[in-house]
Amino acid sequence: MQNRRTISIVDDDDASREALAGLVRALGFEVMEFRDAFEFLTSEDRMSTSCLITDYRMPRLSGVELHRRLVDEGLTIPSVLVSAYSDHVARDRIGDAGIDWFLPKPVDPKELLRCLEAACGRRNFGNDGFQ
């Protein structure tokens, strides 16, 4: 049975990933950390993920491309994309991909908590929370 409060964080920047993981743990969630999209895609842990938090810009496979790969596999995980880059092109690309939420870095803890609570209550259901 899936743990409904396990958050997977995918970010190639160690400091950003570790800081975000600490915040998510402080908010009361279990956390799994991955250094890149391929590490997450090849992990069996992806099946127990209640919500995915991924960086927008990563080498080899971006957060948007990761989300699309999961959808292509038939695995719909509510996703939060985080980025220091929040231009209109990025936001349009994220919305077009069906990403649930976009949060600028540094992440506001209250906004993140709102996203995670919504995600954990509806894994594998429709998209109603794009910000």
Q: CA torsion 58→63→65→67, rounded to 10°?
A: 160
The token pair that represents 60 in the structure block: 């080899």
Whole-model pTM: value is 0.86
In this prediction, residue 3 carries a pLDDT of 44
Query: How far is C-alpha 118 from the geometric centre of its chain's CA atoms?
Result: 13
Q: Which pLDDT tens digits describe the chain residue by residue (131 residues)?
A: 344 589 999 999 999 999 999 999 999 999 999 999 999 999 998 999 999 999 999 999 999 999 999 999 999 899 999 988 766 666 677 777 788 899 988 999 999 999 999 988 854 433 333 33
The token pair that represents 76 in the structure block: 């719909």
The domains of the chain are located at: 6-120
Name all contacts of 86-95 with Cβ < 8 Å and 24+ positions apart. Answer: 90/56, 93/64, 94/56, 94/64, 94/130, 95/130
CATH number for the domain whose boundaries are 6-120: 3.40.50.2300
Residue 109, number of CB atoms within 10 A of its CB: 12
Q: Measure the CA angle with vertex 8, ends 2 and 9; round to 5°.
A: 175
C-alpha closest to that of 24 among 117, 100, 91: 117
In this prediction, residue 117 carries a pLDDT of 92
